[in-house]
Amino acid sequence: MRIVQRVFASLLYHRKYAGTLGIVTALFLVLGLSCLIIRDFQRSALNLFQVRLGMIDQHAANISKFPALRQIILVHETLMKNEQTIFVVLLWALALIILIASIVSLIHRRSELIAYRLAGKNFTTISWQFALENVALFLLIYFVVVTLLLCLQAPFMALLERINQRLFIDSLSATLANLKNSPTAAGWGNLNRIFSNQVTPFNGHLLLFGGADLSSSFLTDYSQYFASILWRGGSIVFTASYLPALLYNWHISRTIFE
Amino acid sequence: MFDFRPTKQKNNFIEEWQQAFPKNKLFLIYTPSPATAKKIYRCYVRLFAKNHLLKRIGLITQEKNSILPYLSAKENILISFDNAQVKHTKLWERFETNLISNRDFFETLGKDLTPLQHFYVQFYRQLLAGKKVIIIDTLLDQLPVTVVRQIMTEFDSIIHDIDTSIIILTANQELIQANPQASLDTPPFVQK
User: Given this model, what pLDDT does residue B86 score?
Assistant: 67
- At residue A183, φ and ψ (nearest 5 deg) are -65, -15
User: Given this model, what pLDDT does residue B51 score?
Assistant: 87
Task: Look at residues B62, B63, B72 and name the one whose alpha carbon lies nearest to residue B121.
Answer: B72
CA distances from A186 to A37, A69, A178, A190, A192 (A): 36, 17, 12, 9, 10
Task: Look at residues A215, A211, A165, A208 and name the one whose alpha carbon lies nearest to residue A183.
Answer: A208
User: Given this model, what pLDDT does residue A212 score?
Assistant: 55
Give the strand order in the sheet containing B165-170: B57-60, B133-136, B165-170, B26-30, B183-184
d(CA A170, CA A78): 12
d(CA B80, CA A3): 10
**A16-33 average pLDDT score:** 95
Within a domain: B146 = yes
pLDDT at A158 over 90: no
Within a domain: B15 = no
Band the pLDDT of A165: cuts 50, 70, 90.
confident
Task: Look at residues A125, A140, A143 and name the one whose alpha carbon lies nearest to residue A6.
Answer: A125
Instruction: Map residue A187 onto helix, strand or coil.
Output: coil
Within a domain: B190 = no
Tens digit of each residue's pLDDT (9 = 90 or more) over B67-92: 899 998 888 888 877 666 666 677 77
Within a domain: B13 = no
User: Given this model, what pLDDT does residue A104 score?
Assistant: 95
Chain A touched by B186 (CB under 8 Å): no
* Interface probe with B: pick from A1, A2, A110, most Cβ of B within 10 Å: A2
- At residue B29, φ and ψ (nearest 5 deg) are -120, 125
Domain coverage including residue B51:
22-184
In this structure, the number of other CB atoms found within 10 A of the CB of residue A59 comes to 7
d(CA B118, CA B124): 10
Tens digit of each residue's pLDDT (9 = 90 or more) over A67-120: 777 787 888 889 889 999 999 999 999 999 999 999 999 999 998 998 888 887
Distance linking the first and last C-alpha atoms of chain B: 38
Packing angle between helix A67-108 and helix A110-118, nearest 10 degrees?
60
Give the helix/strand (H/E) hosting B60: strand B57-60
User: Given this model, what pLDDT does residue B192 score?
Assistant: 66
For chain B positions 23-42, those within 8 Å of chain A (CB to CB) are 42
Within a domain: B153 = yes
Specify whether the backbone of A150 is left (phi greater than 0), alpha (psi in -120 to 50) or beta.
alpha
Band the pLDDT of B66: cuts 50, 70, 90.
confident
Number of domains within chain B: 1
Q: Cβ(B63)–Cβ(B137) under 8 Å?
A: yes
Who wins on pLDDT, A91 or A61?
Answer: A91
d(CA B89, CA B65): 27
Which residues of chain A are within 8 Å of residue B59 when distances are taken between CB atoms? 118
Chain A touched by B59 (CB under 8 Å): yes
Closest approach of A257 to chain B, Cα-based (Å):
6
Who wins on pLDDT, B127 or A54?
Answer: B127
Closest approach of B177 to chain A, Cα-based (Å):
31
Chain A touched by B70 (CB under 8 Å): yes
Band the pLDDT of A180: cuts 50, 70, 90.
low
- Tell me how far the alpha carbon of residue A47 is from its chain's centroid: 21
Who wins on pLDDT, B61 or B29?
Answer: B29
Q: Considering chain B, what is the average pLDDT of its residues?
A: 83
Number of domains within chain A: 1
The percentage of chain A sitting over the pLDDT mark of 90, rounded to a whole number, equals: 44
Q: Which residues are paired to B170 by β-bridges?
A: B30
User: Given this model, what pLDDT does residue A173 score?
Assistant: 72
Specify whether the backbone of A60 is left (phi greater than 0), alpha (psi in -120 to 50) or beta.
left
User: Given this model, what pLDDT does residue A32 score?
Assistant: 95
- Beta-carbon contacts of residue B103 (< 8 Å; ≥ 6 apart): none
CATH of the domain at B94: 3.40.50.300
pLDDT at B12 over 70: yes
Who wins on pLDDT, A167 or A197?
Answer: A167
With b for 16 or more beta-carbon neighbours within 10 A and e for fewer, the B46-64 pattern comes to ebbeebebeebbbbbbbee
User: Given this model, what pLDDT does residue A196 score?
Assistant: 62
Instruction: Tell me the HSE value of A119 on the side-chain side, using a 13 A CA sphere.
Output: 26
